[in-house]
Chains A and B, each alone.
Chain A
Amino acid sequence: MTDFDFAIIIKSIPFLLEGMWVSLLLTLLAITGGLILGVLLALCRLAPYTWLSFAAGTYVNFFRSMPLILIIFWFYFLVPFILGRPVGSFYSVLTAFVMFEAAYYCEIIRAGIQSVRTGQVYAGQALGLTYAQNMRFVVLPQAFRAMMPILLTQSIIMFQDTSLVYVVGLRDFLVAADIVANRDNRLMEMYMTVAIVYFALCLVGQLGIHKLQKKFPTGR
Chain B
Amino acid sequence: MPMIEMKDVSKWYGDFQVLDKCTTSVEKGEVVVVCGPSGSGKSTLIKTVNGLEPFQEGIISVDKIMVGDSETDLPKLRSKIGMVFQNFELFPHLSIIENINLAQLMVLKRSIEDSKKRSMELLDRVGLVDQAEKFPAELSGGQQQRVAIARGLAMDPIAMLFDEPTSALDPEMINEVLEVMSKLAVEGMTMMVVTHEMGFARRVAHRVIFMDEGRIEEDCTKDEFFNTDRGDRAQEFLSKILTH
Contacts and interface: CB of A to CB of B under 8 A. Distances in A.
Interface of A: 119-120, 122-130, 133, 137-138, 141-142, 145, 220
Contacts of B152: 126-127
B52 A127 contact: no
Contact of A145 (B85, B93, B106): B93
A117 to B, nearest CB: 8
Contacts of B82: 126
Contact of A127 (B79, B87, B92): B79
17 contacts: A119-B87, A122-B89, A125-B52, A125-B75, A125-B78, A126-B52, A126-B78, A126-B152, A126-B161, A128-B77, A129-B102, A133-B106, A137-B91, A138-B91, A142-B91, A145-B93, A220-B137
Contacts of A141: 93
B103 interface: yes
Nearest to A142: B93
B92 A220 contact: yes
The listed residue with most A CB atoms (<10 A of its CB), out of B75, B79, B83, is: B75
Nearest to A128: B79
Given A126-B152, A129-B103, A141-B93, 4 more contacts: A126-B81, A126-B161, A129-B107, A220-B92
Interface residues of B, number: 30
Interface in B4-26: none
A124 B50 CA distance: 12
Nearest to B103: A127
Contacts of B52: 122, 125-126
A145 B135 CA distance: 15
Interface in B155-214: 155, 161
Grouping DSSP codes into helix (H, G, I), strand (E, B) and loop, the B interface class, with mixed when no group exceeds half, is: mixed
Contact of A128 (B103, B137, B161): B103
B76 A142 contact: no
Given A128-B75, A128-B107, A129-B75, A137 B102 contact: yes
B192 to A, nearest CB: 13
Contacts of A220: 92, 136-137
A129 B75 CA distance: 6
A119 B75 contact: no
A217 to B, nearest CB: 10
A129 B106 CA distance: 7
Nearest to B151: A127
Contacts of A122: 47, 52, 83, 85, 89
Interface string B16-58: 0000000000000000000000000000000100101000000
A220 B102 CA distance: 19
B107 A142 contact: no
A125 B93 CA distance: 17
Interface string B82-109: 1101010111110000000011001100
